[in-house]
Amino acid sequence: MKRLIPSLLFLVAFGVAAWHLTACKRTPSPPTEQDAIAVWKNAHATPHLSDLIDLKKTNGQMQESNGVEVYTLYYAVEEKSVVRLGNSPPGTIDRYQGSFPFQWTEKGWMGPDHHVYPVQ
């Protein structure tokens, strides 16, 4: 019995130390499609030339650059112009693909619009 108590204390201490080492650095969940929609709306707020019809996340890539987690969210957009743009009349529907880079901060993901989107 005298050997059992120190062994249990050692096991608990080792478990707590291992938990601290593995739990301190966690991979944050990536930005969502709703975050990308918010970035698109913030980027296209002024001048208001088009309305968002649909934005779908097509892919994403997490990487670390100089110790900072960076997530590139790839998307496909469908938008409708509200004014005449060149030869295109108002109401023209355009489709294109693009990407938004997000950087991990202590408060969440910071998008290219410099707004922070907290992780849910």
The phi, psi pair for 38, rounded to 5°, reads -65, -40
Is residue 8 a part of any domain in this protein?
Answer: no
- Tell me which residue range forms the domain holding 106: 29-117
DSSP output for 63-96 = EEETTEEEEEEEEEEEEEESS-BTTBPTT-EEEE
CA distance 28 to 19: 17
Is residue 38 a part of any domain in this protein?
Answer: yes
pTM above 0.95, yes or no: no
| pLDDT digit string, tens, across residues 85-110 | 899 999 999 999 999 999 999 999 99
Residue 1 one-letter amino acid: M
| pLDDT level of residue 44 (50, 70, 90 thresholds) | very high
Q: What is the pLDDT of residue 23?
A: 53
Is residue 22 a part of any domain in this protein?
Answer: no
What mean pLDDT, rounded, does the chain reach? 87
| pLDDT level of residue 15 (50, 70, 90 thresholds) | low
Looking at the structure of the chain, the number of domains it has is 1
- Using only C-alpha atoms, the chain has a radius of gyration, in whole angstroms, of 23
